[in-house]
């Protein structure tokens, strides 16, 4: 036996078979025990429960959900919530983060100090603590009766930020947004490929966008409901406005502020990694500072930042799960409440994991596309110098 184990191929076969056996054994035992438990608790397996109504509401959703909505609709609302707060958070964090990064590498000492203080404070405190903090701040605002008002149409209270509402379903707003993005992309493509159509592209896109807006405006609404509704204080609460709940705002602010601290460092790293020789070449060619930034420093810095940025985006999306701590109904919270209420643990957990795997792969895929389009040809991974 010992002699046999000294044989390289025999050893590798034995080891691999052992590992396979143990893994299969564990999996099988998990399944068997799970089935026993499910049977003893009288819970049916399978995804049939998705058609059942939940019996509980959530306090924020992009699509129409009530406490009578079926599970699948509730889960979809949760997923959309995660995407909303995640994508908005990523965008704001990036914009803000660029600003912070520039502060950090500024030659001005005061700006430097501001940037460094910001980064050190908000990077070294856990995200969940920051979320709790902002939530506490927002819920300690005055009650609706004594709300802070801006021009009598916008109100800030501990129930949230209330704006005049466009009588435009939120889903339609999203469609409009997506439509606009699609039109812009289409316009850019047409501009690239056809020089004859080029001068007409932007006016045509603008016209198309207006058309889309009017279309959405006219359909899906009863003709005599008003276009804009203003918030009105009735009793203890505001009605009829577009209200942004503090749960959502607190999470968004926390993700933006925390994310900006990290993205600021990534931006700083990217800008610092641009080889001095390239900048000097630009100077030698007689380019002025603005041009050097535009043509050399920024493009190279962006390419250097992409891998770290992609990682950060994935991390920030996953971080939205802490919304449950402050009551924001993101995908995780909807799933965990569903598990509590329906007992369909395994199926729901699988859906949870699937949802996040999907989100991650989408971000990864998108960033990879951006990366390959921007990639410096012939050099493989983005290593400068």
Partner 1 sequence: MPDAAIQLIGVSKFFGKYRALNKVNLEVAQGERVVVCGPSGSGKSTLIRCINRLEEHSAGRIFVEGTELTDDLKALDEVRREVGMVFQDFNLFPHMSILNNCALPLMRVRKSSRQEAETVALSQLERMKIAAQAGKYPDQLSGGQQQRVAIARALCMQPRIMLFDEPTSALDPEMVGEVLESMVDLANEGMTMICVTHEMGFARRAADRVVFMAEGEIVEEADSDTFFDHPKHAKTRAFLAQILYRRPAEA
Partner 2 sequence: MAESALTAPAPDNSLAQWLKRRLFANWWDGLITVFFGAFVLWVLFKVVGWGFVDAVWSLENKDQCREAAGACWSVIEARGRLILFGLYPYEQHWRSTLACGAIVATMILSCLPWFWSLRRLPLLWVSGFGVFVILMYGGVFGLPLVTTEQWGGLALTVFIFAAVVVIGMPLSVALALARRSPLPVISKLAGGIIDIVRSLPLLTILFAAAVVVPFVVPDWAQGDKLGRVVLAFAVFFACYQAEIIRAGMQSIPPGQEEAAAALGMKYFYRVFDVLLPQAFRNTLPSTINQFVITFKETSIVTIIGFFEVMASGNAAVGTGNWTAQYVEVYVFVGAIYFLFVFGLSRYGDYLEKKVRLGVA
Q: Which residues bind partner 1 (CB under 8 A)?
A: 6-11
Q: State the number of binding residues for partner 2 (CB under 8 A).
A: 51
Ranges within 351-370 binding partner 2 (CB under 8 A)? 352-353, 356-357, 360-361
- Nearer to partner 2 by C-beta: 299 or 327? 327
Give helix 298-319 / helix 246-272 axis angle, nearest 10°: 150
For 63, other C-beta atoms within 10 Å of its C-beta total 15
- Scanning 93-101, 109-117, 202-210, 290-298 for contacts with partner 2 by CB under 8 A, the matching segment is 109-117
6 interacts with, out of partner 1, partner 2, none, CB within 5 to 8 A per kind: partner 1
Q: Which range of residues in 28-36, 67-75, 240-248, 280-288 is near partner 2 by CB under 8 A?
A: 28-36
Q: Does 109 bind partner 2 (CB under 8 A)?
A: yes
Q: How many whole angstroms separate alpha carbon 157 and alpha carbon 237?
A: 10
CB 332 within 8 A of CB 322: no
Beta carbon of residue 298, minimum distance to partner 2 (angstroms, whole number): 21
d(CA 105, CA 267): 9
Question: Are the CB atoms for 57 and 67 separated by under 8 Å?
Answer: yes
Q: Which does 276 bind (CB under 5 to 8 A by kind): partner 2, partner 1, none?
A: none
Nearer to partner 2, 86 or 144 (CB): 86
In angstroms, the CA 264 to CA 106 distance is 12
Tell me: does residue 136 bind partner 2 (CB under 8 A).
Answer: yes
**Residue 341 lies near partner 2 (rule: CB under 8 A):** no
In what helix (H) or strand (E) does residue 233 lie, and over which residues does it extend?
strand 232-234
Q: Binding segment for partner 2 among 136-144, 175-183, 191-199, 218-226 (CB under 8 A)?
A: 136-144
**In 165-245, which residue ranges form alpha helices assigned H by DSSP?**
170-193, 198-218
Token readout for 80 is 């959309």
Q: Does 140 bind partner 2 (CB under 8 A)?
A: yes
Return the residue matching tokens 């469609």.
175
Q: Which of 5, 10, 20, 210 binds partner 2 (CB under 8 A)?
A: 20
CB nearer to partner 1: give 10 or 20.
Answer: 10
| CA 47 from centre of chain | 27
Kindly tell me which of 63 and 325 has the beta carbon lying closer to partner 2: 325
Measured from the CB of residue 227, what is the shortest distance to partner 2 in angstroms? 40
Q: How far is the CB of 137 from partner 2 (least distance, A)?
A: 8
346 forms part of the interface with partner 2 (CB under 8 A): yes
Question: By the 8 A CB rule, do 302 and 375 touch?
Answer: no
Report if residue 99 touches partner 2, rule: CB under 8 A: no
Q: Does 273 participate in binding partner 2 (rule CB under 8 A)?
A: no
Q: How far is the CB of 205 from partner 2 (least distance, A)?
A: 37
Question: Could you say which DSSP state residue 70 is in?
Answer: B
Q: Could you say which DSSP state residue 13 is in?
A: H
Does residue 155 contact residue 144 with C-beta atoms inside 8 Å? yes
The answer to whether 326 touches 138, Cβ cutoff 8 Å, is: no
CA distances to 15, 140, 321, 325, 379 from 128, rounded to whole Å, are: 44, 18, 10, 8, 40
Tokens of 323: 């919304």
In 105-196, where does DSSP find H-type helix? 109-123, 127-139, 170-193
Contact of residue 9 among partner 2, partner 1, none (CB under 5-8 Å per partner type): partner 1
CB 198 within 8 A of CB 209: no
Which of 187-195, 229-237, 341-349, 367-375 is the region at the interface with partner 2 (rule: CB under 8 A)?
A: 341-349
Closer to partner 1 at the Cβ: 14 or 197? 14
**From 10, 24, 25, 37, residue interacting with partner 2 (rule: CB under 8 A):** 37
Q: List residues binding partner 2 (CB under 8 A).
A: 12, 15-16, 19-20, 23, 30-31, 33-34, 37, 107-114, 120-121, 124-129, 132-133, 136-137, 140, 314, 318-319, 321-322, 324-325, 332, 336, 339, 345-346, 349, 352-353, 356-357, 360-361
């Amino acid at each position: 036996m010992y002699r046999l184990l000294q044989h390289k191929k025999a050893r590798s076969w034995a080891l691999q078979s052992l590992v396979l056996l143990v893994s299969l054994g564990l999996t099988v035992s998990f399944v068997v025990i799970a089935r026993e438990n499910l049977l003893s608790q009288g819970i049916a397996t399978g995804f049939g429960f998705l058609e059942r109504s939940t019996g509980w509401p959530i306090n924020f959703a992009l699509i129409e959900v009530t406490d009578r909505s079926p599970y699948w609709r509730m889960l979809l609302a949760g997923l959309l919530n995660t995407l909303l707060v995640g994508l908005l958070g990523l965008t704001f964090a990036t914009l803000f983060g660029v600003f912070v990064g520039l502060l950090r590498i500024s030659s001005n000492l005061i700006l430097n100090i501001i940037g460094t203080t910001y980064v050190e404070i908000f990077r070294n405190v856990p995200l969940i603590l920051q979320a709790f903090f902002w939530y506490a701040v927002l819920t300690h605002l005055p009650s609706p009766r004594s709300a802070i008002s801006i021009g009598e149409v916008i109100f800030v209270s501990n129930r949230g930020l209330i704006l005049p509402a466009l009588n435009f379903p939120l889903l339609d707003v999203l469609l409009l947004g997506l439509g606009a993005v699609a039109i812009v992309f289409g316009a850019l493509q047409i501009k690239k490929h056809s020089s004859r159509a080029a001068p007409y592209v932007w006016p045509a896109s603008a016209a198309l966008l207006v058309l889309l807006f009017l279309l959405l405006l006219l359909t899906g609404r009863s003709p005599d409901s008003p276009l804009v509704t203003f918030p009105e204080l009735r009793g203890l609460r505001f009605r009829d406005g577009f209200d942004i709940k503090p749960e959502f705002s607190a999470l968004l602010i926390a993700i933006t502020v925390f994310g900006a601290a990290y993205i600021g460092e990534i931006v700083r790293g990217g800008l610092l990694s641009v080889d001095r020789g390239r900048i000097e070449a630009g100077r030698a060619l007689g380019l002025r500072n603005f041009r050097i930034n535009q043509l050399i420093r920024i493009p190279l810095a962006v390419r250097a930042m992409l891998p770290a940025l992609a990682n950060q985006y994935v991390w920030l999306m996953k971080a939205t799960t802490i919304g449950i701590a402050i009551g924001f109904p993101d995908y995780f919270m909807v799933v965990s409440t569903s598990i509590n209420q329906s007992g369909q643990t395994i199926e729901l957990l699988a859906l949870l994991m699937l949802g996040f795997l999907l989100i991650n792969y989408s971000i990864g895929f998108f960033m990879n596309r951006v990366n390959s389009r921007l990639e410096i040809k012939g050099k493989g991974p983005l290593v400068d110098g």
